[in-house]
Structure 1
Amino acid sequence: MEDLLTETVPAEDLKKFEKAYHEQLYKHDVTPKAQFEYAWCLVRSKYPADIKKGIFLLQELFRSHEEGQRDYLFYLAIGNARIKEYTKALKYVRSFLNIEPGNSQVMALETTIKKKMEKEGLVGMAVATGVVLAIGAAVGLGISVLSKKT
Structure 2
Amino acid sequence: MEDVLDEIIPTDELRKFERVYHTQLNVGNITNKAQFEYAWCLVRSKFPTDIKKGIILFEDLFQKGSGDSKRDCLYYLAIGCARLKEYSKALQYVRAFLQVEPDNQQVQTLERQIKKRMEKEGLVGMAVAGGIVLALGGLVGLGIAMSKKS
Q: Quick check: TM above 0.5?
A: yes
Query: How far apart in 1 are the matches of 2:52 and 2:31?
Result: 20
Look up the equivalent residue of 1:86 and give its one-letter code: Y
> What TM-score results when the alignment is normalised by the length of structure 2?
0.79
Task: Give the distance between the partners of 2:11 and 2:120, measured in 1 at CA.
Answer: 30
The aligned runs of 1:70-89 (5 Å cut-off) are 70-89=71-90
Larger CA deviation: 65-74 vs 33-42 = 65-74
Is the 2:3–2:113 Cα contact (8 Å) retained in structure 1? no
Counterpart CA distance in 2 for 1:28 and 1:46 is 28
| One-letter amino acid of the structure 1 residue matched with residue 80 of structure 2 | G
Secondary structure of the structure 1 residue equivalent to 2:121: helix
Name the counterpart of 2:8.
Answer: 8
Identical amino acids, percent of aligned pairs: 63
- Bigger Cα Rg: 1
Residue 3 of structure 1 and its aligned partner are, at CA, apart by 2.2
**Matched position secondary structure for 2:5:** helix
Amino acid at match of 2:101: E
Amino acid at match of 1:99: V
Paired residue type of 1:29: N
Give the total of aligned pairs. Answer: 125
Equivalent residue for 1:148? Answer: none
Alignment RMSD: 1.8
Q: Secondary structure at the match of 1:93?
A: helix
Q: Return the alpha-carbon distance in structure 2 between the equivalents of residues 17 and 105 of structure 1.
A: 25
Q: Which residue of 1 aligns with 2:120?
A: 119
The corresponding residue for 2:48 is: 48
Q: Give 3-state SS (helix, strand or coil) of 2:8's partner.
A: coil
Rounded Cα–Cα distance in structure 1 between residues aligned with 2:70 and 2:99:
12
SS at match of 2:122: helix
Alignment of 1:80-119 (within 5 A): 80-119=81-120
Could you state the TM-score of these two structures normalised by the residue count of structure 1?
A: 0.79
Structure 1 residue 20: Cα displacement:
0.3
Structure with greater helix share of residues: 1
Name the amino acid aligned to 1:4.
V
Contact 1:2-1:112 at 8 Å conserved across structures: no
How big is the shift at 1:16?
A: 0.7
- C-alpha distance in structure 2 between counterparts of 1:42 and 1:86, whole Å: 18
Question: What does the per-residue CA deviation read over 1:30-64, in whole Å, with 9 as the maximum and x for residues that have no partner?
Answer: 01000000000000000000000000000000011
- Give how far 1:2 is off: 5.5
What amino acid sits opposite 1:6 in the alignment?
Answer: D
- Structure 2 runs not aligned, ≥5 long: 127-150
| CA displacement at 1:119 relative to structure 2 | 1.4
Structure 1 unmatched ranges of 5 or more: 126-150
